[in-house]
Amino acid sequence: MAGEIVYADLNLSPGFPGSRAPLSAQPHSPTCPWWHRTALGVGWIGNIVLVIAVIALGIWGGSGCKLCPTDWRLRRDKCYWVVRGSKTWSESRADCSARGSQLLVIRDPKELEFIKDLTQDSKPFWIGLSVPSPEKAWTWVDGSRLDQSLFQEPGPAEGNSCGAVAGNQINSETCSSAFQWICQRDAILL
């Protein structure tokens, strides 16, 4: 019998260790309650709706998430930093530049109102407005001119005049004075 293969049909009793009942005789696995299937279906529908919403927002002008650095305040697409120390206008401008920003450039009366609420103070804060030379007019740090249809001229355009905001007014101050200041930068769009 050496080298021969022998087949045997074994009939083991169901209680015998290691024995299994034929597949047709095995009990069926228990079915899940109806609410499990319903919850799973609702979950899938919710996921599909969320995916469609994200795609729609991305395609049809969702403005995205806007972020500012820690301790900066977000308004629309800009971040604002109110510095409570005191420096000259030039030193304030350099500080904003070191923060990757610029002194505040106010574009409309609503932004001026926001700044008033942000500072909650009647003390002057340097902004990015100055008279670069005696023969020039009031100019923002980005090179644009002060729009006198939106804001009253802060004072005579003299060579050593810089703009400061106090409350809801823009005033002319001597650039060598020491005040607090406001920096602004673009928000990071995700």
- Percent residues over pLDDT 90 in the chain: 49
Q: Where are the domains of the chain?
A: 34-63, 67-189
Each residue of 94-136: pLDDT tens digit? 999 999 999 999 999 999 999 999 888 778 999 999 998 877 8
Please give the Cα distance from 120 to 100 (Å, whole number).
25
Mean pLDDT computed over 144-149: 89
Residue 146 has pLDDT above 60, yes or no: yes
Secondary structure class of 70 (helix, strand, coil): coil
Q: Which fold has domain 67-189?
A: Mannose-Binding Protein A; Chain A (3.10.100)
Give φ, ψ of 99 to 5 degrees. Answer: -90, 5
What's the one-letter identity of residue 46? G
Each residue of 63-84: pLDDT tens digit? 578 999 999 999 989 999 999 8
The pLDDT score that the predictor gives to residue 11 is 67
Could you tell me the pLDDT band of residue 33, with boundaries at 50, 70 and 90? confident
Could you tell me the pLDDT band of residue 152, with boundaries at 50, 70 and 90? confident
Return the residue matching tokens 């902004």.
127
Handedness of CA 110, 113, 115, 118 (dihedral sign): negative
Give pTM, 2 decimals: 0.65
Q: What own/partner pairs with CB < 8 Å and gap ≥ 24 does 60-69 have?
A: 63/189, 64/189, 64/190, 65/189, 65/190, 66/187, 66/188, 66/189, 66/190, 67/187, 67/188, 67/190, 68/185, 68/187, 68/188
The pLDDT score that the predictor gives to residue 30 is 66
Give φ, ψ of 183 to 5 degrees. Answer: -100, 155
